[in-house]
Homo-oligomer: A and B are copies of this chain.
């Protein structure tokens, strides 16, 4: 097992009706920026629940944070906070809103060009230099409510980049699984596949000595497989909803990555498909993941076989046979979850996709990725072309 540090100070408040606790969590007397996305919180009652609970607070609203939040949009919120001397941010939304708020929190007091936060991957570890924030989750998928990382897109250059650091954990996150009742089926499908792939990025590498983390990862995968296909049909079933939402948090709150190697190349390639064609994030993962496992078969076959045996109860006469069956099962699961696993089923004029992505990686100086740093740009090309 690799050495690790586990630090996650988020006060994570889970369950029905927990939004009521908001007034005990937002600091008394704080000037609050209430940040949200496209306005679904007005339709599902969450905006009303939040503002009534925070009756008496000085609240400025900032809506319109888009899916794959844009640097350009977020900087408008940064300006408002600076002008109005706001000292607490409440993110009400899904991963995009929460990721956006992490960037806003970091950018307000940042000296210099705020785009450098993303371009130079600056780490935020000093609580006194960020604006504290809490979250009310309305769309489970990314785990952002219980981690300190974020992904932000610079529209001007079509770059999807990351930021993070221990100062960027939410102070609290309110997670009420009943909010998924009003979500469109497509977003629920995305949420399940996104969470599933988050686990795979941290699990599907090679056999190692971290026995407990492997079992935790398999626990999340099995739970998502058990509840995923049903929760998208019956999101008001609390048993299904609560296990889905909790699994999505646990998939990316840092726990299962401690002490183990991780891959993340599926995300790195997938981010480019979103930047290029605006394909939903989760759908890019469903396209790329299985093809990456095929191209990197020699590296990953041992872990694929373990995954097949333990998660899918696959039997077979050889490692290779079990590993191949495990990939087939994964693709079938993504299809069950409504994913179309070819780029051509999700976008048009895709002939130059591989060229574009490989060039983009080259520009950034990326030579290889993955848990063994052996997913070279040639392999990336092969993965993308296999995904057409």
Q: Which residues of A contact B (CB under 8 A)?
A: 1-18, 209-212, 215-216, 218-220, 222-223, 226-227, 238-239, 242-243, 246-247, 250, 255, 258-259
Contact = CB atoms under 8 A, between A and B. Distances in A.
Contact of A6 (B6, B12, B209, B218): B12
Contacts of A239: 1, 209, 211
Contacts of A215: 218-219, 222-223
A4 B11 CA distance: 11
A195 to B, nearest CB: 11
A220 B214 CA distance: 11
Nearest to A226: B211
A22 to B, nearest CB: 13
A215 B239 CA distance: 15
B242 A1 contact: yes
A254 B164 CA distance: 26
Contacts of A15: 1-4, 259
B1 A258 contact: no
B3 A18 contact: yes
Contacts of A18: 3
A110 to B, nearest CB: 25
B250 A212 contact: yes
A241 to B, nearest CB: 9
B259 A14 contact: yes
Among A13, A209, A246: residue with most chain B CB under 10 A: A246
A1 B246 contact: yes
A127 to B, nearest CB: 12
Contact of A211 (B11, B13, B227): B227
Given A209-B242, A215-B223, 9 more contacts: A1-B238, A1-B239, A4-B15, A7-B11, A8-B9, A211-B239, A212-B219, A212-B220, A215-B222
A229 to B, nearest CB: 14
A11 B3 contact: no
Contact of A7 (B12, B218, B238): B12
Contacts of A7: 9-12
Contacts of A218: 215, 219
A227 B215 CA distance: 14
28 contacts: A1-B238, A1-B246, A3-B14, A3-B15, A3-B17, A5-B14, A6-B10, A6-B11, A6-B12, A6-B14, A7-B9, A7-B11, A7-B12, A8-B9, A14-B259, A15-B259, A210-B243, A211-B223, A211-B226, A211-B227, A211-B243, A212-B220, A212-B243, A212-B246, A215-B218, A215-B223, A218-B219, A242-B259
B12 A5 contact: yes
A16 to B, nearest CB: 6
Nearest to A172: B7
Given A212-B250, A219-B215, A242-B209, A258 B6 contact: no
A166 to B, nearest CB: 9
Nearest to A255: B255
Contacts of A12: 5-7
A250 to B, nearest CB: 7
A238 B1 CA distance: 8
A15 B209 CA distance: 13
A4 B258 CA distance: 24
The 6 closest A-B pairs by CB, nearest first: A3-B15, A215-B219, A9-B9, A1-B242, A209-B239, A6-B12
Given A215-B219, A216-B219, A11 B5 contact: yes
